[in-house]
Amino acid sequence: MSERVEIRFPHKTVEVPVFVGTEGEKAIDVSNLRAESGYITLDPGFVNTGSCASDITFIDGEKGILRYRGIPIEVLAGKSTFLETAFLLIYGHLPTITELAEFTNRIRRHTMLHEDIKAFFSGFPRDAHPMAILSSVVCSLSTFYQNENRPENELMELNTVRLLAKLPTIAAYSYKKSIGQPFVYPDNSREYCENFLHMMFSVPSEEYHVDPDHIDALNLLLILHADHEQNCSTSTVRLVRSSMGNLFACIAAGICALWGPRHGGANQEVIEMLEHMRAEGGNVKKYIELAKDKNSKFRLMGFGHRVYKNFDPRAKIIKGACDKLLNKLKRHDPLLDLAKELEEAALQDAYFVDKKLYPNVDFYSGIIYKAMGIPVPAFTVMFALGRLPGWLAHAREYTHDPKNKIGRPRQIYTGEMQRDYIPIEKRG
């Protein structure tokens, strides 16, 4: 017999079932609470509410655990590739050699954009934010692949491949538009990450060799960002999918949700904070003290995490890659020097250690992207490239769930009670 708990109300006691996950997480199933009691739950930000049951990603914030389909992130970061990790998230198992080769080849065949899409880029202002361009063009893909006479499952499969293949091309075109350089077509002889960096930084007039260390760093960053359970953007993708919106619209909505500084824009804020500190003299000790002062408005970006109460397991992995890349470059960049100084000062400060405010994945990813030459406004675009497999996996999981329902949260109304309409000529 399944476990049940009692919820006592002034007028009655209601029994509700307890849902237990495979890792022992427990949830009180309140799906019938309003019908049985007349009450709903109120949970601003849904911080204590499970919106679904999912078998994609497991997080234990207290213990610093992150697993994709049961496999620790540390293992995937050390042994996998981004496309293999994407396959794992989307299809639920590690691919065989044949499956991965077929998956990779299918993606390679869809990297090109329809030539008419170039006109869209011409219509954007030169200073348009890359996330605005990315979300707009992704949504517009639905106009190029509309009314396709295919079974729903086959269409989702094809659009999944299209999105994985085309998002790097769109992202690279967005960057080229911002600096006035010609678009560089994808080169399908190159691997996924190499192809993207080649489209970003090469020009038609001369040969360009992508740094292997940059390829490795990007592959690692994309894996670490590939999914993170029911965050704002992933929840948005599932919510839009619950209306049976097409996959391009779902992913465009996820990109828009990721854009904000509270979510995907955090790594951009790290660099902007460092730039501010440098402009003010670069006194790290001063800003460490300001961060500890409750009366100060200064906030140290890239430290601590809403979910991880101890340490961010992704940050531990990425720190090594960050150190390796900076040591190899041997390039003097005052901003990167300041970041290392800030990191060392915070890790040695008792306040930060006691409160477990360690550098998170946003802190290190921002530093790596800057070292690679990625422009700061495009940092969140890089986050979107990594998070795409997770979004696709969740859209797919929702679609295949026989119990899925359209998302329709309740609310507690706090406005005016019923009142009369006063004719305009009688209003004061």
Using DSSP's 3-state secondary structure scheme, residue 76 falls into helix
Marked catalytic residue, from 225, 228, 312, 362:
362
Using DSSP's 3-state secondary structure scheme, residue 280 falls into coil
Whether 184 and 206 have beta carbons less than 8 Å apart is answered as no
From residue 72, how far is each of 16, 59, 76, 311, 343 by CA, in Å? Answer: 33, 10, 7, 15, 26
Transcribe 341-388 into DSSP letters: HHHHHHHT-HHHHHTT--B-HHHHHHHHHHHHT--GGGHHHHHHHHHH
List the structure tokens of 43: 């949970």
From residue 357, how far is each of 87, 260, 282, 299 by CA, in Å? Answer: 33, 22, 21, 12
Tally of CB atoms within 10 A around 128: 16
List the structure tokens of 157: 């499969």
d(CA 28, CA 3): 10
Marked catalytic residue, from 110, 228, 305, 394:
305
d(CA 409, CA 42): 10
Q: 298 exposed, middle or buried (CB, 10 Å; 0-12, 13-18, 19+)?
A: middle
- 60 as an active site residue: the answer is no
Of the candidates 199, 194, 195, 197, the one whose C-alpha atom is nearest the C-alpha of residue 183 is 199
C-alpha 395: how far from chain center: 14
Q: 203 exposed, middle or buried (CB, 10 Å; 0-12, 13-18, 19+)?
A: exposed
Using DSSP's 3-state secondary structure scheme, residue 332 falls into coil
- 362 as an active site residue: the answer is yes
Whether 271 and 366 have beta carbons less than 8 Å apart is answered as yes
Transcribe 170-238 into DSSP letters: HHHHHHHHHHTPPP----TTS-HHHHHHHHHH-BTTB-----HHHHHHHHHHHHHHS--SS-HHHHHHH
As annotated, the active-site residues are: 305, 362
